[in-house]
């Protein structure tokens, strides 16, 4: 019961931190940037950015994960996985459970998640994205299997003729936030590290599958999130030193 609670609670980081919640509003991936809006929402006729080299590893990996792996099961599951706003009630209840019943360790971990996710979201969305200004796959490639919110699944035209998103791609804010929160909680509660890592991978994959991120966007976001999680965990251990109750009892032969 405790392990299940902790597994769900880690997702609360997306809703507890204002920045993370703002990044998820409407299923978006990041805070929109002025530069991206100027490119996508101008009154002038849309001009597609130059297409990337189709022989590049990033493009080939994206086309495999987004196109060749497309199937009805993933089509039903991935929109739910990628939009953690749909988990809001469960997440908030689990967060409250950790704060109320997690004793000192749970409360300190819950508290640490707030600045951790605020930092991860802002670094990805407000610092790196405007510097790199990388366009999303659905903006530069034709024939993308794209989840387009209320309109559901669409396949973009063979020739890019319009804009679908209003923010840049690199790195994935979802991957940054989910990796930061999952790894931090997994380090604090080692028994749930494996399932939390699997969840982070699933969310990262969903961003590619729904057509809004390149594989390298997800990998970069995961790397940033992992680095921040490790820093947060080091700080957490200084605030909440390991005690006897955290150490499994040794069996006496």
CATH at residue 66: 1.20.144
Residue 72 lies in a domain: yes
pTM of the model: 0.77
Does residue 135 lie in a domain region?
yes
Note the pLDDT of residue 122: 92
Q: Which two tokens stand for residue 139?
A: 């903006």
CA distance 22 to 100: 26
Task: Say how many domains are in the chain.
Answer: 1
DSSP 19-87: HHHHHHGGG-SS---HHHHHHHS-SSPP-PPPPPPTTSHHHHHHHIIIIIT--HHHHHHHHHHH-GGGG
- Is residue 47 a part of any domain in this protein? no
Residue 43 domain flag: no
Residue-number span of the structural domain to which 91 is assigned: 2-36+60-242
Q: Are 200 and 182 in contact (CB under 8 A)?
A: yes
Q: Is 195 inside a domain boundary?
A: yes
- pLDDT score of 226: 96
Question: Does residue 44 belong to any structural domain of this protein?
Answer: no
pLDDT for the residue numbered 172: 92
Interior angle at CA 69, CA 67 and CA 70, nearest 5? 65
User: Is 51 part of a structural domain of the chain?
Assistant: no
Print pLDDT tens along the chain (253 aa).
455 455 555 555 555 444 443 443 334 444 334 344 444 444 346 666 777 777 789 899 999 999 899 999 999 999 988 887 776 676 677 777 778 887 888 888 888 888 998 999 899 989 999 998 888 898 888 888 988 877 889 888 877 766 667 778 899 999 999 899 889 988 988 888 999 999 999 999 999 999 999 999 999 999 999 999 999 999 988 887 765 445 554 554 4
What's residue 18's pLDDT? 43
């Amino acid at each position: 019961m405790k392990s299940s609670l902790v597994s769900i609670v880690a997702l609360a980081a997306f809703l507890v931190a204002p920045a993370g919640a703002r990044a998820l509003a409407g299923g978006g991936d990041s805070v929109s940037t002025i530069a991206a809006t100027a490119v996508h929402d101008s009154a002038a006729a849309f001009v597609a950015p130059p297409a990337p080299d189709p022989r590049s590893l990033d493009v080939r990996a994206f086309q495999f994960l987004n196109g060749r792996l497309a199937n009805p099961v993933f089509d039903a599951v991935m929109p739910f996985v990628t939009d953690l706003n749909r988990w809001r009630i469960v997440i908030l209840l689990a967060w409250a459970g950790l704060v109320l019943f997690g004793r000192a360790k749970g409360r300190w971990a819950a508290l640490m998640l707030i600045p951790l996710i605020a930092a991860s979201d802002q670094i990805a969305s407000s610092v790196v994205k405007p510097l790199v200004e990388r366009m999303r796959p659905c903006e530069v490639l034709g024939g993308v299997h794209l989840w387009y919110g209320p309109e559901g699944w669409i396949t973009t035209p063979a020739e890019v003729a319009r804009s679908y998103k209003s923010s840049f791609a690199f790195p994935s804010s979802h991957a940054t936030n989910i990796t930061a929160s999952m790894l931090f909680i997994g380090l604090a509660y080692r028994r749930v590290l494996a399932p939390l890592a699997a969840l982070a991978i699933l969310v990262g994959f969903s961003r590619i599958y729904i057509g809004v991120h390149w594989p390298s966007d997800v990998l970069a976001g995961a790397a940033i999130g992992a680095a921040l999680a490790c820093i947060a965990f080091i700080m957490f251990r200084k605030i909440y030193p390991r005690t006897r109750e955290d150490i499994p009892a040794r069996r006496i032969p």
